[in-house]
Structure 1
């Protein structure tokens, strides 16, 4: 699943591919926001961890994995 994290005053979003479900990512975010001086952290599919102070978060976009169709449609 792809997760996009916008950080205040940074022009590019952080894009992470994670094995967590949308509900698990949302729960991690909720836990981070509830903590005093919390940090939001996720680990990507390669084991790299991204840590962002919640005070710097702009937004978090949680996408669902969609099966991608590869090939050509139609008949010949």
Structure 2
């Protein structure tokens, strides 16, 4: 599923595909906000994204990615 994170004072947002469910992402955001610890999420390739909760602008959790249709996609 696609996750978009807005960081304060940064023009570009962080956009990545995550294997986590929407509920898991929501729980991670809620935990980071309540404890004041950095938000830590993992993308589909296993990379860890860490965002300081004080700099967090927004988190947008998209729908799970569906199969792509078209020619030449691998």
TM-score range, shorter chain: 0.7 to 0.9
Aligned to 2:54: 55
- Taking only aligned residues, the RMSD between alpha carbons, in angstroms, comes to 1.3
Aligned to 1:10: 10
Contact 2:2 2:15 in 1 (8 A): yes
Moved over 4 A (4+): none
Aligned to 2:21: 21
Structure 1 length as normaliser, TM-score? 0.84
Aligned to 1:74: none
Name structure 2 gaps, 5 residues minimum. Answer: none
